[in-house]
Chain A
Amino acid sequence: MSATSSGETTAQTRGVDYAAALARWLVGALFIYMGLHKALHPVEFLKLVRQYDLPLHHVALNFVAATLPWFEIFCGLLLVCGIAVRGAALLLVAVLVPFTTAVLMRALAMQKAGGLPFCAIKFDCGCGAGEVLICRKLAENCLLIITATWLTFLRGGIFCLRPELLKKSPGDKLS
């Protein structure tokens, strides 16, 4: 009985490990793809960021447009390779939450101005995928936020080069 229970737990843990690895690869690959698209067209991205009418000085606006794409690529690579997984995932949540809020605010403003049904609103949000239906984009971002949040709570994992960056040695466990 005990051996069966232990076996089930191991199978469950393995299942979670595989799911986490898959989630890392999917989220990481998506951020690399989106980041590369923006990094290769920084002026286009700058114009899109400007459309949010953020109360930013032009230097801050340039800084966001110049660094965010490369930063996304960097975090995406960390997730794919399994390095500093929880830190990278936490940062992606920190990027996604304000960005998704900004997309939502802009969509609401457009709805108010144009009188369109919310889910019919479509614009290039600067996500790297071109013009998108905003309901779909918000759903995607919520899914990404949930997945990245889940990754911040997982420890270790399979197919990881160095899942915990600040762990000094394999025997030195964090608690």
Chain B
Amino acid sequence: MRAARTVLLEALVVAVTGLALALAANALSPRGLRLARNYFPVLPAVDGPATVGQTAAISNSPPTDPSQAAALRLQQRGFAIANGNEVFELFKDPRYEQGLIVFVDARDDDHFSAGHIPGAWQFNHYRPENYLPAILPACLNAMKVVVYCTGGQCEDSEFAAVALRDAGIPRENLVVYLGGITEWTTQGRSVETGARGSGQMLTPAAKP
């Protein structure tokens, strides 16, 4: 009995010390999380139809496919969604060169460097303070801001769109590209590797 109490007491000492050290390590780590921040913000649903160019077929029954669920959620929150062809049209639009259409990649540094839509800005919404000062002027100046991430079950484009809206970008200017970089590369479209504007282009083979 006494031995059990001793083990429990030892475990308590280890737990308290471990938690204190864990909190300190998280605070000191440059990659540490901010405990109070809501990394997965949810916007309340808005009344009325969703705004622009959505092409996903959405039924009234609850969707089982993650991209359909995401499309429905985005529409309920008033964000426009776009498919690969619509996004490619925006990419080829002369306004893209003029900075009136902006692409925003919501993935982390490693994925962004591995390949992003040419000319896209990076906005990792988990570290907004590192990216907002650079991208906010470009987004405020744009008529359309296309946000994307990996595609599929990736929700980062959705959270990034919410963060950009909170930062002052009008909701009607934001378009979420649900197919993301996976769809872009699957369709054989070029990506830029390294930093934005590096000019290092890579053309993946199109997949059926």
Query: Chain A interface (Cβ within 8 Å of chain B)?
Result: 39-43, 46, 50, 58-59, 62-63, 65-71, 74-75, 78, 84, 86-88, 90-91, 94, 113, 152, 155, 164-166, 174-175
> 9 closest Cβ contacts across the A-B interface?
A87-B10, A70-B22, A67-B22, A87-B11, A66-B26, A66-B33, A74-B18, A87-B14, A70-B25
From B12, which residue of chain A is reached at the shortest CB distance?
A: A87
CA of A155 to CA of B35, assembled, Å: 38
Q: Is B205 an interface residue (CB 8 A)?
A: no
Smallest CB gap from B33: residue in A: A66
> Is there a chain A Cβ closer than 8 Å to B108's Cβ?
yes
Bitwise, B53-78 to A at CB < 8 A (1) or not (0) is: 00000000000100000000000000
Contact present for B31 and A42 (CB under 8 Å): yes
Seen from chain B, the residues whose Cβ lies within 8 Å of a Cβ on chain A are 2-3, 6-15, 17-19, 21-23, 25-26, 29, 31-40, 64, 108, 126
List the count of A-B residue pairs having beta carbons below 8 Å apart: 100
Q: How far is the CA of A174 from the CA of B1 in the complex (A)?
A: 11
Q: A70-B21, A174-B2 are in contact. Are A86 and B10 (CB under 8 A)?
A: yes
Closest B residue, CB atoms, query A67: B22
Cβ contact within 8 Å between A74 and B21: yes
Query: A86 contacts which chain B residues (CB < 8 A)?
Result: 7, 10-11
| A40→B23 CA distance, assembly (Å) | 14
Let me know if A46 and B7 touch, CB within 8 A. no
Contact check, A74 vs B11: say whether CB atoms are below 8 A apart.
Answer: no
List 20 additional contacts besides A42-B32, A46-B33, A86-B11; criterion CB under 8 Å.
A39-B29, A41-B31, A42-B29, A42-B33, A59-B36, A62-B36, A63-B35, A65-B33, A68-B22, A69-B22, A70-B18, A84-B10, A84-B14, A86-B10, A88-B14, A90-B10, A113-B64, A165-B13, A166-B10, A175-B2
The reply to whether A66 and B31 contact each other, CB–CB distance below 8 Å, is no
Q: Are A174's CB and B6's CB within 8 A? A: yes
Q: Would you call the interface of chain B mostly helix, strand, loop, or mixed?
A: helix
Cross-chain contact A175 with B3 (CB below 8 angstroms): yes
Are A62 and B25 in contact, CB atoms less than 8 angstroms apart? no
Contacts of A50 in B (CB 8 A): 40
Q: In the assembly, what is the distance between CA of A94 and CA of B12, in Å?
A: 12
Chain A residue at minimum C-beta to C-beta distance from B156: A47
- Complex Cα distance A88/B16, Å? 11
**Within 8 Å CB of A46, what residues of B?**
33, 39
Q: Which residues of chain B are within 8 angstroms of A70 by Cβ–Cβ distance?
A: 18, 21-22, 25-26
